Amino acid sequence: MSPGLTLVGQSGLTYFGRTTASISHELKNALAIIKENAGLLGDYLLMMEKGMPIDPARFKTVAGRIEDQITRADGIIKNLNRFAHSVDDPVKAIDLNETAGLLGVLSQREAAMRQIALQVIPQEGTLTVTTAPYLLLNLLGRCLSICLQHMGAGKTLSVRVAKEGDKACIVFDALDAAALASAGSFPGESESALLSAVGADCRLDGNQGRLIITLSNR
């Protein structure tokens, strides 16, 4: 295996592991809330058995909380499923809006941990490119992590899908130019290997505070 492919493979496994770990943590949180609410229902029943009256509205509140967490967990699992299926086809035509949307939901927790708001801005209509879907997601995930590492808490990172002539772009916006300069080694070896594997270029625009990934194979 060539060094480039080894790097892509390692990077892919790291990203898969990191993302599924984050998702499993989110699921655990939802399950913990469901478990405690189920326990609370048990507490209410015990109280009733001992002759203590319980307002039916309290049962309704607990049922509502359980339903909310099940909806949340279902959403998390749907995203995990979309993520898992991103490895189905080595190369295929994808809508960049969908990829950016998936990147956004998969990265919400990472951004929240750094107290940074994450905003995904799709391009109007669809913007199709033919590429390696999982490797592109991996590349964008790495870019997003680097952006988050070089932003302060309380800021907003926007991920915008855009057309640039006949090319398609993903623009990471509202970055701090000084902080970006400190990310001097970007793209590193792994990012360069991923850029090559998905047929993309990247550039840092310090003046505008942007990191731009450009895909030409539309």
Chain residues binding other proteins by CB under 8 A are: 24-25, 28-29, 31-37, 39-40, 43, 47, 62, 65, 68-69, 112-115, 153
CB of 35 to other proteins, least distance (A): 4
Rg (CA), the chain: 21
Q: Which is closer to other proteins, CB of 35 or CB of 78?
A: 35
Question: Which residue's structure tokens are 């993903």?
Answer: 170
CB of 79 to other proteins, least distance (A): 17
Using left for φ > 0, alpha for ψ between -120 and 50, and beta otherwise, residue 106 falls in alpha
CB of 24 to other proteins, least distance (A): 7
Q: Which is closer to other proteins, CB of 30 or CB of 127?
A: 30
Residue 181: count of CB within 10 angstroms of its CB = 11
CB of 110 to other proteins, least distance (A): 10
Q: What are the φ/ψ torsions at residue 185 (nearest 5 degrees)?
A: -85, 5
Q: In whole angstroms, what is the distance from residue 171 CA to residue 103 CA?
A: 13
Q: Are 149 and 196 in contact (CB under 8 A)?
A: no
Q: Which is closer to other proteins, CB of 28 or CB of 60?
A: 28
Q: In whole angstroms, what is the distance from residue 178 CA to residue 38 CA?
A: 50
CB of 65 to other proteins, least distance (A): 6
Burial 182-207 (b: 16+ CB within 10 A, else e): ebeebbeebbebbbebbbbebebeee
Q: In whole angstroms, what is the distance from residue 114 CA to residue 81 CA?
A: 25
CB of 197 to other proteins, least distance (A): 31
